[in-house]
C-alpha cells in the first residue's frame, strides 16, 4: 500500500502522522476496499477523521470509491453521556457526507437480545464479570461488542458480494503494554490490512502517541485541519472530566495503564476495583454526569454481594447422564434477580421523572419480556409473570426500591456440592412441558396445536413462531401491548390463578410476542418440563423451591450408590427376559 504523504495538503499544519494515515486511507479506498470503522472514543475518532479525509481525497480521484461504514456498538451499559455524544458525531458524519457527496453510512449496533447485559444478569442470573468469574478474560467484550461487529461485517460481505471488507480500529501501541501485545499477537499493522478473527483489519493509528491524538484535535479546533464535525472540541471536555479535571494529555500514562485500555467502559465494569472515571465525571460536573451515580451504586452493590452466597441459586443447569444436577453455589438466585429488576426500574423511573437531559433505559418492554421468558423457563417463581408484576408495581403504581447500603463480602469458603435427582422428580410428576390440556383431543384450543419431531418421535406443543434468533417482537407496539394490556387481562380474567408459573411461558410463545431461534423448540419444551417439576416442589413440600432442593439433595457418595443400585436392578430385570 502506498503510504507517501501528498504534500499539497501539509502547508497548514505540522502533523505528519495524520498525513501518513490519510494517505493510507486514501489508497485503501482506491484499492477497492469497503471500509468499516468502530467508533467509540478519542482514538477511534482520530482514526475516523483520517479515514473520512482519505475517502474525500480518493473520491476526488475516482468517483466510485467507498462506502465508509461508521459503527458504534451500544452495549446499553456504556457511559451514557459519551455514547450520546458519539451519536451526535454520527449525525455530523452523515451531514458532512451529504454536503461533500461522500458515501458515509452510520450504524448503531447492539448485542443479541439474549446477550444483553440486563438479560444475562437479571434474566439468566449470569454472575457479574470479575477477574475471578470470567473464564476467558474479558468475555463480556466478546459477547457485547465483538460478536455484534462480526455479524455486521458478515452482513457487509453479503451485501457487497465480496470479502474485501476492511475494519479500521483506533488501537494504538502506546495505550498500554497489554494493547501493544494484543496488536502484535494479531499481527496488526498501520500500513496493510491483515486477516484476524474479526476479518481484514487495519490499525490505522497504531504508531501514534497520545500527544499525536490530542494534537490532531487541537489542529482541528484551530481550523488547521478540516474535519467532519465542529463538535470534536467537546472530546477534551469529556476526557478531562474523567481525569478529575486534568487534561487527558497530562493524565496520559495513568489512564493508559487501566485494564480497559479506555477511560469509558461499562458502568457496571467489575474488572477494576473502582470506576474512577465515572466518579470523577460526577464530581467535576454533577449536573451533566450526576444522573449516572445510581448506576455506580448498583455496580457497588453487585460487587459487594457477589460472594454473599445467600444471593446465589443452589441449582446448577447441567444435567448428568444419570439425571442429577449439581447443587451448590451457581448463578444469581431468582430472588436476587428480582431485586436487581426492582433497583434498575427504580433508577430508570427516577431518572425519567427528574426531567434531565439524559435518561437511563436499560430495560424496556423488549428486555422485560426476555427476562420474563428466562424466569418462566427456569422455574421457581411464586406466581406466573413475576417480572411483569414488578414492572407494574414500579412503573405504573409508583413503588420505589432504593439500593441498600452494603459492605464487601469476601469469598470465604468453597462449599461442598450435593446432587439433586431432577429426572426422578420429572418422571414422577409427568410434566407436560409446552403441551396443554386446551390443545389435547377435544380441547377448545385445538387450532393452536403444533408438532415437532425429535429422534423420529412427534411431540405436541402450543403454537410458537421461529426466527433466525431468539427475539421479542416490538413492531406495532406488540411487546408494549402484551405488558400493559394483555397481562392485566390475564390477571383480571383469572387465567393465571392457581396455575404453574410456566403458563406465562406458553402465553409468551402462543401469542407470538416471543419468537424462538430455529431448532430450539425441543430444548425449550424440555426446560418447561424441568421447570414444572421444580415448581411442583413448592406445592408438594410446602417450602420454597430452593429449600426443598437442598433438603432432597444427596452427597456424591450416595448419588453414586443410587446409580449403581439402579444399574444393578436394570441388569437383573433384563436377565429375566
The residue whose grid cell reads 502547508 is: 11
For strand 514-517 and strand 457-462, is the pairing parallel, antiparallel, or unpaired?
A: unpaired
C-alpha grid cell, residue 100? 461533500
pLDDT for 251 equals 44
φ, ψ at 557 (rounded to 5°):
-65, -45
| Residue 298, C-beta contacts closer than 8 angstroms, at least 6 positions apart | 268, 340, 343, 344, 347, 403
DSSP 50: H
Rounded CA gap, 462 and 448, in Å? 6
The pLDDT of residue 407: 96
Q: Sign (positive/negative) of CA torsion 79, 301, 349, 373?
A: positive
Q: At what angle do helices 422-429 and 521-541 cross, to 10 degrees?
A: 90
Dihedral of CA 134/137/142/145: which sign? positive
Helices 16-30 & 42-61, crossing angle to 10 degrees? 50
Q: DSSP of 119-141, one letter per residue?
A: IIIIII-PPPP-TTT-TTSSHHH
Give the residue carrying C-alpha cell 430385570.
573
Residues 6+ apart with CB under 8 A from 11: none
| Cα atoms found within 13 Å of the Cα of residue 456, Cβ hemisphere only | 0
Which pLDDT value is given to residue 8? 55
Cell numbers placing 325: 444436577
Which residue shows C-alpha cell 406495532? 476
Question: C-alpha angle 81/82/88, rounded to 5°?
Answer: 95
Alpha-carbon torsion, ordered 40, 42, 48, 54, to 10 deg:
-170
Burial of 220 (0-12, 13-18, 19+ CB in 10 A): buried
Place of cell 457477589: 306
303: its cell numbers: 460487587
Q: pLDDT at position 252, please?
A: 44
The 8-class DSSP code of residue 257 comes to T
> Is 319 strand, coil or helix?
strand
Is the separation of the CB atoms in 365 and 508 below 8 Å? no
- What pLDDT sits at residue 256? 44
Cβ-based neighbours of 176, under 8 Å, separated by 6 or more? 256, 257, 258, 261
> What single-letter DSSP state applies at residue 266?
B
Look at the alpha carbons of 205, 206, 210, 212 in this order and tell me if their dihedral is positive or negative.
negative
Interatomic CA distance for residues 435 and 358, integer angstroms: 45
- Name the nearest CA neighbour of 82 among 135, 122, 44: 44
The confidence score (pLDDT) of residue 359 equals 81
At 160 the pLDDT is 96
Q: Are 482 and 369 in contact (CB under 8 A)?
A: yes
Residue 107 makes CB contacts below 8 A (sequence gap 6+) with: 69, 70, 71, 72, 152
Question: How far apart are alpha carbons 28 and 320 in whole angstroms?
Answer: 53
80: cell is: 451514557
Q: DSSP letters along 468-487, please?
A: SS-EE--GGGHHHHIIIIIH
Contact between 64 and 13 (Cβ < 8 Å): no
Strands 104-109 and 418-420, sheet pairing: unpaired
- Please tell me the predicted confidence (pLDDT) of residue 458: 92
State the pTM of this model: 0.90
- 21-32 b/e with 16+ CB inside 10 Å = b? bbbbbbbbbbee
Output the pLDDT for position 259.
Answer: 37
**What confidence score (pLDDT) does residue 254 get?**
45
In the numeric block, which cell numbers belong to residue 201?
Answer: 483489519
Burial class (CB in 10 A: 0-12, 13-18, 19+), 510: buried
Rounded to 5°, the CA angle 144-149-152 comes to 130
Residues in CB range of 87: below 8 A, 6 or more apart: 72, 108
Q: Divide the 577 residues of the chain into consecutive groups of 10 and give the mean pLDDT of each group.
A: 52 87 97 96 96 98 96 93 95 98 97 96 94 72 90 96 96 91 94 95 96 95 95 90 63 43 68 81 90 95 94 84 87 96 97 81 97 96 96 98 96 84 83 86 76 91 95 98 98 94 96 97 94 86 84 92 85 59
Q: How far apart are CA 381 and CA 523, in angstroms?
A: 20
Whether the CB-CB separation of 152 and 36 falls below 8 Å is answered with yes
Amino acid at each position: 500500500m502506498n503510504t507517501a504523504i501528498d504534500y499539497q495538503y501539509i502547508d497548514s499544519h505540522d502533523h505528519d502522522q495524520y498525513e501518513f494515515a490519510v494517505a493510507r486511507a486514501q489508497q485503501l479506498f482506491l484499492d477497492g476496499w469497503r471500509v468499516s470503522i468502530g467508533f467509540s472514543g478519542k482514538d477511534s475518532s482520530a482514526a475516523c477523521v483520517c479515514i473520512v479525509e482519505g475517502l474525500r481525497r480518493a473520491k476526488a480521484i475516482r468517483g466510485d470509491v467507498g462506502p465508509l461504514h461508521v459503527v458504534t456498538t451500544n452495549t446499553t451499559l456504556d457511559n451514557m453521556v459519551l455514547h450520546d455524544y458519539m451519536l451526535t458525531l454520527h449525525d455530523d458524519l452523515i451531514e458532512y457526507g451529504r454536503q461533500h457527496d461522500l458515501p458515509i453510512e452510520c450504524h448503531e449496533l447492539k448485542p443479541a437480545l439474549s446477550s444483553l447485559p440486563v438479560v444475562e444478569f437479571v434474566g439468566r442470573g449470569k454472575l457479574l464479570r470479575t477477574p475471578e468469574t470470567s473464564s476467558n478474560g474479558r468475555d463480556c467484550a466478546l459477547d457485547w461488542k465483538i460478536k455484534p461487529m462480526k455479524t455486521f461485517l458478515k452482513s457487509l460481505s453479503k451485501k457487497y458480494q465480496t470479502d474485501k471488507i476492511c475494519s479500521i480500529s483506533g488501537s494504538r501501541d502506546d495505550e498500554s503494554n497489554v494493547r501493544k501485545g494484543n496488536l502484535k499477537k494479531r499481527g496488526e499493522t498501520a500500513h496493510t490490512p491483515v486477516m484476524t478473527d474479526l476479518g481484514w483489519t487495519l490499525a490505522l493509528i497504531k504508531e501514534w502517541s497520545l500527544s499525536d491524538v490530542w494534537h490532531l484535535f487541537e489542529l482541528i479546533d484551530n481550523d488547521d485541519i478540516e474535519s467532519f464535525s465542529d463538535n470534536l472540541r467537546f472530546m477534551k471536555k469529556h476526557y478531562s472530566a474523567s481525569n478529575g479535571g486534568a487534561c487527558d494529555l497530562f493524565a496520559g500514562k495513568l489512564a493508559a495503564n487501566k485494564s480497559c485500555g479506555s477511560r469509558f467502559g461499562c458502568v457496571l465494569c467489575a474488572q477494576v476495583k473502582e470506576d474512577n472515571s465515572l466518579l470523577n465525571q460526577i464530581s467535576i460536573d454533577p449536573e451533566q454526569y450526576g444522573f449516572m451515580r445510581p448506576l455506580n451504586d448498583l455496580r457497588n452493590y453487585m460487587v459487594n454481594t457477589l460472594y454473599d452466597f445467600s444471593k446465589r441459586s443452589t441449582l446448577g443447569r447441567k444435567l448428568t447422564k444419570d439425571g442429577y444436577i449439581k447443587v451448590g453455589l451457581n448463578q444469581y438466585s431468582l430472588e436476587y434477580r428480582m431485586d436487581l429488576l426492582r433497583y434498575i426500574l427504580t433508577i430508570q423511573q427516577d431518572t425519567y421523572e427528574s426531567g434531565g437531559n439524559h435518561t437511563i433505559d436499560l430495560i424496556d418492554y423488549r428486555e422485560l419480556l426476555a427476562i420474563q421468558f428466562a424466569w418462566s423457563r427456569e422455574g421457581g417463581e411464586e406466581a406466573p409473570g413475576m417480572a411483569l408484576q414488578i414492572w407494574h408495581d414500579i412503573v405504573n403504581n409508583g413503588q420505589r426500591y432504593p439500593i441498600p447500603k452494603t459492605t464487601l463480602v469476601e469469598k470465604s469458603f468453597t462449599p461442598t456440592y450435593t446432587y439433586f435427582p431432577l429426572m426422578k422428580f420429572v418422571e414422577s410428576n409427568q410434566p407436560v412441558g409446552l403441551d396443554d390440556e386446551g390443545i389435547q383431543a377435544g380441547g377448545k384450543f385445538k387450532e393452536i396445536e403444533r408438532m415437532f419431531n425429535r429422534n423420529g418421535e412427534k411431540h405436541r406443543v402450543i403454537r410458537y413462531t421461529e426466527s433466525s434468533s431468539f427475539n421479542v417482537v416490538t413492531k406495532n407496539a406488540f411487546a408494549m401491548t402484551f405488558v400493559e394490556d394483555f397481562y392485566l387481562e390475564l390477571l383480571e380474567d383469572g387465567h393465571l390463578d392457581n396455575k404453574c408459573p410456566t403458563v406465562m411461558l406458553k402465553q409468551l410463545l402462543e401469542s407470538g410476542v416471543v419468537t424462538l431461534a430455529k431448532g430450539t423448540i425441543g430444548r425449550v419444551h424440555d426446560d418447561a418440563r424441568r421447570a414444572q417439576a421444580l415448581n411442583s416442589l413448592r406445592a408438594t413440600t410446602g417450602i420454597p423451591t430452593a429449600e426443598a432442593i437442598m433438603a432432597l439433595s444427596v452427597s456424591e457418595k450416595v448419588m453414586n450408590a443410587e446409580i449403581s443400585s439402579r444399574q444393578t436392578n436394570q441388569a437383573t430385570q433384563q436377565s429375566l427376559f
